[in-house]
Amino acid sequence: MSVPPEGRPAGSPIRVAIVEDNDEIRSTLERIVGRASGMRFVCSFPNGKSALETLPQHHPEVVIMDIRLPDLSGIECIAWLKRAMPATQVLIFTVYGDNEQVFQALEAGASGYLLKRSTPAEIRQAILEVHQGGAPMSGEIARKVVQSFRKERSETALAQRLTEREEEVLGLLAQGFVTKEIADKLAVSFDTVRFHLKNIYGKLHVRSRAEAIVQYLR
């Protein structure tokens, strides 16, 4: 479970901000978040410039970020926000399923990636998961990531550093499975998977699931 930022009582609603240039989509996201139990909509912006100027004042814990904005790109905004607010989790929200954008968003600091046709339930679940330290991705994006990996990956030092079981765990992670689902698929305990993830992070010199996936895909 994630640690509340300074000044935020444990158990209080997750503070969510939105950066989306489409008025209708932005309003829909505001309603989805505003009506969700355990979440609080704090602010929204139609472009990157206004978001970067004002968003930090609202101290969001999760930001839903469009990749295609009219001024700055969502990827540029993510990089800036992660420098200014490293504890804030960013969830990319886009109609595009381009592999390169997935990699760029993850490298810039995004912790999750969803397509705009995701259902309200999927959006709420992604916010909750990313807040708890997960790396949610839509099934379509996860499949594209895996296909790209299978097509382009060559034998590297990574394969030599990780054990066969660690490779298996990391592969499932890249497909979008969360810790409990990985444990179920491998018929091992939740704590065993957490142990493998800790070893994987250490060997790859990363601090998050998103960073581990980027290393794996390269």
Question: Which CATH number is 54's domain given?
Answer: 3.40.50.2300
Judge if 165 and 69 occupy the same domain.
Answer: no
148, 213 in Cβ contact below 8 A? no
Task: Give residue-wise pLDDT tens across range 105-152.
Answer: 877 888 888 888 889 999 999 999 999 888 887 777 777 766 666 655
- Answer yes or no: is 49 within a domain: yes
Rounded to whole angstroms, the Cα distance separating 189 from 183 reads 6
Residue among 126, 113, 134, 110 nearest 194 (CA): 134
**Are the beta carbons of 123 and 98 closer than 8 angstroms?**
no
Query: How confident is the model over 52-76, as pLDDT tens digits?
Result: 999 999 999 999 999 889 888 888 8
Q: For residue 173, is it within any domain?
A: yes
Q: Both 64 and 95 in a single domain?
A: yes
The answer to whether position 82 is within a domain reads yes
pLDDT score of 160:
53
Rounded average pLDDT over 178-206: 89
CATH code: domain of residue 181: 1.10.10.10
CA 109 to the chain's CA centroid: 8
- Same domain, yes or no, for 27 and 86? yes
Q: Are residues 84 and 181 in the same domain?
A: no
**Residue 7, pLDDT above cutoff 60:** no
Q: What is the largest CA-CA distance in the chain?
A: 49
In terms of residue numbers, what domain contains 49? 14-138
d(CA 34, CA 49): 24
- Residue 6: pLDDT band with limits 50, 70, 90: very low
Asked whether residue 120 falls in the same domain as residue 70, the answer is: yes
The domain boundary, picked from 105, 138, 171, lies at: 138
Same-domain pairing of 117 and 19: yes
| Structural domains counted in the chain | 2
For residue 10, the model assigns a pLDDT of 58
Q: Report helix angle 164-174 to 209-217, nearest 10.
A: 110
3-state secondary structure of 2: coil
Pair (120, 171) in one structural domain: no
Looking at the structure, tell me whether residues 133 and 159 fall in a common domain. Answer: no
Q: Is 5 inside a domain boundary?
A: no
Q: Is residue 9 assigned to a domain?
A: no
Phi, psi for residue 98 in degrees, rounded to 5: -75, 130
So what's the pLDDT on residue 17?
Answer: 98
Same domain, residue pair 85 and 109: yes
Res. 24: pLDDT tops 90: yes
Q: Do 163 and 128 lie in a common domain?
A: no
Q: Is the pLDDT of residue 92 over 70?
A: yes
Question: At 3, is the pLDDT very low, low, confident or very high (cuts 50, 70, 90)?
Answer: very low
Q: Amino acid identity of 40?
A: R
pTM of the model: 0.65
**Residue carrying the six token digits 């490298």:** 107
Q: What is the pLDDT of residue 100?
A: 72
